[in-house]
Amino acid sequence: MTEDSHVEQGQPPRDELPRPVVKQRRFKESLMIWLVPVLAALVGLSLVIHNWMQAGPQITISFQSAEGLDAGKTPVKYKNVVIGKVKKIRLSADRSHVLVEVALEKSAEGFATKGTRYWVVRPRIGLGGVSGIDTLFSGVFIGADVGESNQPQDEFVALEAPPAVNHGARGRSFVLHSDDLGSLDVGSPVYYRRIQVGRVASYALDKDGKGVSVRIFVDGPNDHFVTRSSRFWNASGVNLSVGANGLKLNTQSLATVLAGGVAFQDPPGPHDSTPAPGNAIFNLFGDKDTAMAPPDGEPHYIRMRFQQSERGLAVDAPVEFLGINIGKVVSVRLDYDEKTQKFPVLVGAVVYPQRLGSAYEKLEAMAEARGEKPALSRMLGRLIAHGLRAQARSGNLLTGQLYVSLDFVPHAAKVAFDPGARPLTIPTAPGSFDKLQEQLAEIVDKLDKVPFDSIGKHLDQSLAALNATLKQVNGQTLPAFNDTLHGVQTTLGSANEAFSGDSPLRRNLSATLEQVQRMARSLRVLTDYLGSHPEALLRGRRADPPPTPLAPPHQPSQPKSGSKP
C-alpha cells in the first residue's frame, strides 16, 4: 500500500518522515455514541416505570403492638404468598397503638378493600394446638384475608388473633344460642361423630345480655351433615356420671377436655334430614343427653308445699313422675304458716308434660272424649283425686341429694285441689325417707347420751393400772417364778434319781412289797384255817397231829400246815 503511494509520489528524501497510510473515509459516529446514554436513560426510566407500575396501594394497619414487626422487612402474606411489605412503623398520635404502613403489590389491590382482615402470625401455643412454628425461623409476618367488598379502604385495624375461618373457605357457618359460653373459645373444635369437622369462628353476647351467640364454621364437604334437626351440645370437659350401669366417663377428645368443643348429631328416630342452610340458628345444649332428648313442649310451673325440712333439695333437682324425669326444680323457698306456726318449704318446679309421651297423649284424648278442655290442671286434678302426691325422696344416700317424685300414695287423705289456682299447687306427702331420717336421728340422740367421755377416761385409767401391774409382774414375779422353776427342775431330777432302777429306795420298796406279799399269803392261810376251823377262835388251835412219816413232796396240804399266821 505504501509502495503504491511511493511509486506515485517517488521516494521521499531521506530526512523526510514517512507518510501515514490513508485507509478510507471516517465513518461519522459522532451521533451514534449518544445512543449509549440514551440507552442508559431508557433503562433507568424503565426501572422507574416498572417500580411505579408495581407499586400497589399504600395501606395503614393499626396494631396494639409492633412486636416482631420490622420496617422494610416484614412481609404481608395471603395463603403464604407475599403480597406486600411493611414500609414504616410509627406510633399513633395518642400513642395508644402502632400504625404500620404497608406497601401492597400492584396485584394485591383487592386487599385494600373493606372487609379485609389483617393479623400478625406469630408462633402460638394454645390448648388446641401449636401454630405458626415456621415464623420462629422466618420471623413474624402479617397475614391477610380478603373480604367480599370492592369498596376501597386504606386504614385497617388488625385482629389480635388469626381468624378461625378464612374467607372463601368451603363450608357453612351456623349460629348457636346458649345460656353461657362454657369453656368455648374462638378456634374450639366442632365434632361430628368425634371427627373434627369445623371450629368456633366467633362468639358474642346477645344484645339483651341474656345469652351467648356462638358462630361456628363447619368445613365442606362435611357441612351437609348439619341438618335442620341437628342437635348441638357443648362437648367441653369431662362428663363423669355414676349411674345404675356403673361409672361412665364421656369426653370427645383430650383436646376438648382442655380447650372445649362443640359436637352435633342428628337425633335418633325419624327426623328432617335436609341440610340446614347457612347461618341457620340452633340451640346449644349443655350435654348430649339434653340435646338428644325429644322436644319438651310447653313448660308448666307447679308448686309444692312441704311441711318438713328439705335439706338436699336443690335447684335443678329432677322432678320425676313414676320414675320418668318430667321437669326440674327451679326454686326452693321458705314460707311461714301463721296458723300452725311452722315453716313449710315452698318448692317451685317446671314440668314438661310432653315428656310423658304417649301416656300424656292418651290422657289428653280421654279428656277430650269426656268433653273437657285438655288442660294440665284438670288432668292433675283427676290424678290427685286418685292419690297423686309429691314427695321429696333421696336420690343419693351418700350426698343426701333429694329429688321430687310425683307418685300415687295409697290411702292418701283427701285433699282439696283448685284447678284454677295459679300456680298449680300439688299436695305433698312426707317421704318414706323422712320417717327413716327421724328414727335415725333418735338413735343418734341416744347414742349421743352415752358418756363416751367418762368411759374413755375410766378405760384409760384401767389401762394405766394394768400397765403398772404388768410392769411389776415383769420386774418381780417373773424372776421369782424363774427360780421356782429351777427348784422344780432339781426336785424332778432328784425324784428321777430316786426312782431309778438301782436306787436304795427302789430296793427297799421292792423288799417291803415282798414282805407285804408274804404277809398277805399268811393272812390267806389264816382265813382258810379259820374257815375250816372256826372254833379255833374260841378254843385255840388244836394240837398238831402227830407228824406223819415223810410224805412225798407233792402233797397239796403240806404248804397249809407249814405256815402259821
Chain residues binding another protein by CB under 8 A are 2, 5, 9, 16-26, 29-30, 33-37, 39-41, 43-44, 47, 73, 136-139
Are 255 and 128 contacting, i.e. CB atoms less than 8 angstroms apart? yes
- Please, which residue, 72 or 126, has the CB nearer to another protein? 72
CB 83, min distance to another protein, A: 17
- Please, which residue, 135 or 253, has the CB nearer to another protein? 135
CB 42, min distance to another protein, A: 9
- Please, which residue, 18 or 209, has the CB nearer to another protein? 18
- Please, which residue, 77 or 228, has the CB nearer to another protein? 77
- Please, which residue, 4 or 445, has the CB nearer to another protein? 4
- The residues, any chain, with a CB within 8 Å of residue 336's CB and separated by 6 or more, are 342, 343
Helix (H) or strand (E) holding 379, with range, is: helix 376-385
Give the up-direction half-sphere exposure of residue 530: CA atoms within 13 A in the CB hemisphere: 9
User: How far, in Å, are 222, 342, 430 from residue 339 at the CA level?
Assistant: 66, 8, 20
Listed residue (257, 303, 558) closest to 428, CA to CA: 303
Q: Is 547 left (phi over 0), alpha (psi -120 to 50) or beta?
A: beta
CB 141, min distance to another protein, A: 12
Amino acid at 78: Y
List 86's β-bridge partners, or say none.
102
Q: How deeply is 128 buried, as exposed, middle or buried, from its count of CB atoms within 10 A (0-12, 13-18, 19+)? A: buried
User: How far, in Å, are 528, 531, 532, 561 from residue 557 at the CA level?
Assistant: 12, 15, 13, 7
CB 259, min distance to another protein, A: 29
Listed residue (50, 114, 55) closest to 85, CA to CA: 55
CB 38, min distance to another protein, A: 8
Helix (H) or strand (E) holding 382, with range, is: helix 376-385
Query: What distance in Å separates the CA atoms of residue 560 and residue 528, rounded to the nearest whole number?
Result: 9
- Please, which residue, 82 or 436, has the CB nearer to another protein? 82
CB 206, min distance to another protein, A: 45
Give the up-direction half-sphere exposure of residue 475: CA atoms within 13 A in the CB hemisphere: 6
- Please, which residue, 35 or 441, has the CB nearer to another protein? 35
User: How far, in Å, are 37, 280, 361 from residue 370 at the CA level?
Assistant: 111, 43, 14
- Please, which residue, 35 or 551, has the CB nearer to another protein? 35
CB 149, min distance to another protein, A: 33
CB 19, min distance to another protein, A: 5
- Please, which residue, 22 or 254, has the CB nearer to another protein? 22
Query: What distance in Å separates the CA atoms of residue 452 and residue 458, rounded to the nearest whole number?
Result: 10
CB 90, min distance to another protein, A: 20
- Please, which residue, 139 or 267, has the CB nearer to another protein? 139
CB 120, min distance to another protein, A: 16
Residue 119 CA, chain-centre distance (Å), reads: 36
129-131 and 141-145 as β-strands: parallel, antiparallel, unpaired?
unpaired
Give the up-direction half-sphere exposure of residue 143: CA atoms within 13 A in the CB hemisphere: 19
Crossing angle of the two packed helices 358-369 and 376-385, in degrees rounded to 10: 90
Q: What angle do CA 88, 93, 94 make, to 5 degrees?
A: 130
Letter string b/e over residues 414-429, b meaning 16 or more CB atoms within 10 A of that residue's CB: eeebeeeeeebbbbbb
- Please, which residue, 35 or 473, has the CB nearer to another protein? 35
Are 232 and 291 contacting, i.e. CB atoms less than 8 angstroms apart? yes
CB 224, min distance to another protein, A: 44
Helix (H) or strand (E) holding 182, with range, is: none
- Please, which residue, 47 or 421, has the CB nearer to another protein? 47
CB 28, min distance to another protein, A: 9
